[in-house]
């Protein structure tokens, strides 16, 4: 089995946890400043019951910040009344404009507030590392940068040829397997090997992007040997348990599975619904670039030239860099610039 390595990169405005598998990025956990702590996975919150839908057996909870959370009114929950106060734990984070879900802990009193923070980045990485060393410093920065770059990609090459494309829709995550240019007598074997490689690669990429819910993998070819592929899929997605459910390979050559969604998807955080990296993601990358150049040259005066929106998102953090490197760093907005560039002045 390929070894996993664990990293924590501490940056201005954001800390990132990265895990590699066999030298390739497997997970990226982002903790950004300014996000409501009451919305974080594992947080314990005093919430007000905004409304109750007895037909659907759910209650909507005002957490004080961010979207309402949903509480399922299962046996043992309650009494629940509109306007009442409850203590809950966030069991899945808000995503895609939808609120998260909460687990009932008991009644409480107002106001809406955070009672206990969810697990820290160190706790989350530590739970996955299970005693393995956690690397920080420049190697962690490099590992997190590589993981972030890959998380934003759509197409991923397969060992031995071919590729997979991973794309999201409102309903599901689609994975398309492309076997490449295999022809002739070896084509059937190439299709089989590409499908096996695709299952392993799809599992890695979905973990890296933080994607879950319904996943449909469109395998290459037709008439696949379903049971061995299903066994390979179970092994590939085993690290995502508990909660993974797989269906049989269909007569159309697709494999469907569901993966539990607990945290907000890393891809959603990075893009914020856009086609590529969001303004905030680019602003944080700009700050890391300034930090890298400032550390490399202790006397240089540096200026980052950036699109106005990126410059505006980065400036509030500039004083934090100035505390470390002095007043030799600046950020200038420039119309017509679509990203950023760090220059010596």
**CATH number of 324's domain:** 3.40.1260.20
Cβ–Cβ < 8 Å for 313, 280: yes
The β-bridge relationship of strands 213-218 and 245-246 is: unpaired
Q: Are residues 299 and 231 in the same domain?
A: no
pLDDT at 183 over 70: no
Instruction: Mark out the alpha helices in 46-186 (DSSP H runs).
Output: 121-129, 138-151
Spatial separation of the C-alpha atoms in residues 75 and 71, rounded to whole Å: 12
Q: Are residues 163 and 46 in the same domain?
A: no
Q: Are residues 201 and 330 in the same domain?
A: no
pLDDT number for residue 184: 52
Spatial separation of the C-alpha atoms in residues 259 and 214, rounded to whole Å: 7
Cβ–Cβ < 8 Å for 14, 269: no
How many domains does the chain divide into? Answer: 4
Q: Are residues 160 and 234 in the same domain?
A: yes
Cβ-count burial of 155 within 10 angstroms (0-12 exposed, 13-18 middle, 19+ buried)?
exposed
In three-state form (DSSP H/G/I as H, E/B as E, the rest C), the secondary structure along 275-291 is CCCCHHHHHHHHHHHHH
Strand-by-strand arrangement of the 340-344 sheet: 329-333, 302-306, 340-344
Query: Considering the domain boundaries, does residue 340 fall inside one?
Result: yes
Spatial separation of the C-alpha atoms in residues 282 and 314, rounded to whole Å: 9
Spatial separation of the C-alpha atoms in residues 314 and 117, rounded to whole Å: 26
Name the DSSP class of 54: T
Q: Are residues 141 and 8 in the same domain?
A: yes
pLDDT at 140 over 60: yes
| pLDDT, mean over the chain | 93
User: In this predicted model, what pLDDT tens digit does every residue of 218-246 receive, in sequence order?
Assistant: 999 877 778 899 999 999 999 999 999 99
Task: Show the tokens assigned to 310.
Answer: 């990126």
Task: Show the tokens assigned to 84.
Answer: 């009442």
Q: What percent of the chain has pLDDT over 70?
A: 98
DSSP letter string over 262-328? -SPPHHHHHHTTSSS--HHHHHHHHHHHHHHHHHH-TT--EEEEE-HHHHHHHGGGHHHHHHHH-S-
Q: Are residues 124 and 112 in the same domain?
A: no
* CATH code of residue 29: 3.30.420
pLDDT at 41 over 50: yes
| Long-range pairs of 292-298 with CB within 8 A, sequence gap ≥ 24 | 292/141, 293/342, 293/344, 294/321, 294/324, 294/325, 294/328, 294/329, 295/325, 297/344
Q: Are residues 169 and 242 in the same domain?
A: yes
Domain limit, last residue, from 212, 239, 266? 266
Confidence at 274, pLDDT banded by 50, 70, 90:
confident
Cβ-count burial of 6 within 10 angstroms (0-12 exposed, 13-18 middle, 19+ buried)?
buried
303, β-bridge pairs: 330, 343
Q: Are residues 189 and 227 in the same domain?
A: yes
The dihedral through the CA atoms of 336, 271, 34, 16 has a sign that is: negative
Spatial separation of the C-alpha atoms in residues 120 and 123, rounded to whole Å: 5
pLDDT number for residue 2: 58
Task: Show the tokens assigned to 329.
Answer: 């760093």
Q: Are residues 13 and 138 in the same domain?
A: yes
SS3 category, 187: helix
pLDDT number for residue 181: 67
pLDDT number for residue 180: 74
Cβ–Cβ < 8 Å for 343, 303: yes
Q: Are residues 102 and 210 in the same domain?
A: no
User: In this predicted model, what pLDDT tens digit does every residue of 184-197 receive, in sequence order?
Assistant: 556 788 899 999 99
Exposure string for 35-58, b = 16+ CB within 10 A, e = fewer: eeebbbbbbbbbbbbeebeeeeeb
pLDDT number for residue 38: 97
Give me the half-sphere count of Cα atoms (radius 13 Å) on the Cβ side of residue 205.
27
Q: Are residues 216 and 329 in the same domain?
A: no
User: In this predicted model, what pLDDT tens digit does every residue of 118-133 receive, in sequence order?
Assistant: 999 999 999 999 999 9
Domain limit, last residue, from 226, 246, 266? 266
Domain enclosing residue 309, as ranges: 278-344
pLDDT at 265 over 70: yes
pLDDT number for residue 104: 96
Cβ-count burial of 134 within 10 angstroms (0-12 exposed, 13-18 middle, 19+ buried)?
middle
- What is the arithmetic mean of pLDDT over 25-30? 98
pLDDT number for residue 1: 43
Query: Considering the domain boundaries, does residue 272 fall inside one?
Result: no
CA 228 to chain centre: 30
Query: Considering the domain boundaries, does residue 157 fall inside one?
Result: yes
Domain limit, last residue, from 223, 245, 266? 266
Q: Are residues 56 and 189 in the same domain?
A: no
pTM: 0.92
Report the range of poorest mean pLDDT among 66-80, 154-168, 273-287.
66-80
By residue count, the chain amounts to 345
Query: Considering the domain boundaries, does residue 271 fall inside one?
Result: no
Query: Considering the domain boundaries, does residue 222 fall inside one?
Result: yes
Query: Considering the domain boundaries, does residue 273 fall inside one?
Result: no
């Amino acid at each position: 089995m390929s070894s996993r390595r664990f990293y924590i990169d501490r940056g201005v405005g954001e800390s990132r946890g990265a895990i590699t598998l066999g030298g390739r990025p497997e997970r990226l956990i982002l903790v950004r400043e300014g996000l409501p702590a009451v919305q974080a996975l594992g947080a314990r919150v005093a919430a007000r019951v905004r409304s109750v839908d007895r037909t659907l057996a759910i209650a909507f909870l005002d957490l004080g910040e961010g979207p309402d959370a949903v509480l399922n009114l299962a046996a043992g929950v309650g009494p629940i009344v509109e306007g009442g106060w409850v203590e809950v734990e966030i069991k899945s984070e808000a995503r895609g404009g939808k609120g998260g879900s909460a687990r009932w802990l008991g009644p409480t009193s107002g106001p809406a507030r955070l009672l206990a923070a969810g697990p820290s980045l160190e706790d989350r990485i530590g739970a996955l590392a299970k005693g393995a060393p956690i690397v920080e410093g420049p190697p962690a920065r490099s590992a997190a940068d590589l993981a972030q770059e890959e998380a934003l990609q759509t197409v991923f090459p397969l060992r031995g040829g071919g590729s997979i494309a991973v794309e999201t829709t409102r309903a599901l995550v689609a994975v398309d397997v492309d076997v490449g240019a295999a022809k002739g007598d070896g084509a059937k074997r190439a299709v089989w090997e590409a499908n096996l490689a695709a299952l392993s690669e799809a599992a890695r990429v979905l973990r890296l992007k933080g994607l879950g819910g319904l996943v449909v993998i469109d395998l290459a070819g037709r008439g696949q040997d379903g049971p061995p592929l299903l066994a390979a899929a179970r092994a590939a997605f085993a690290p995502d348990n508990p909660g993974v459910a797989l269906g049989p390979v269909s007569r159309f050559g697709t494999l469907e599975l569901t993966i539990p969604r607990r945290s907000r998807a890393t891809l959603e955080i990075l893009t914020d619904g856009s086609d590529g990296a969001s303004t905030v993601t680019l602003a944080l990358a700009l700050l890391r670039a300034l930090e890298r150049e400032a550390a490399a040259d202790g006397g240089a005066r540096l200026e980052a030239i950036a699109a106005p929106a990126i410059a505006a998102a980065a400036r509030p953090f500039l004083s934090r860099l100035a505390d470390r490197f002095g007043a030799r760093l600046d950020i200038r907005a420039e119309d017509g610039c679509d990203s950023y560039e760090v220059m010596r002045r």
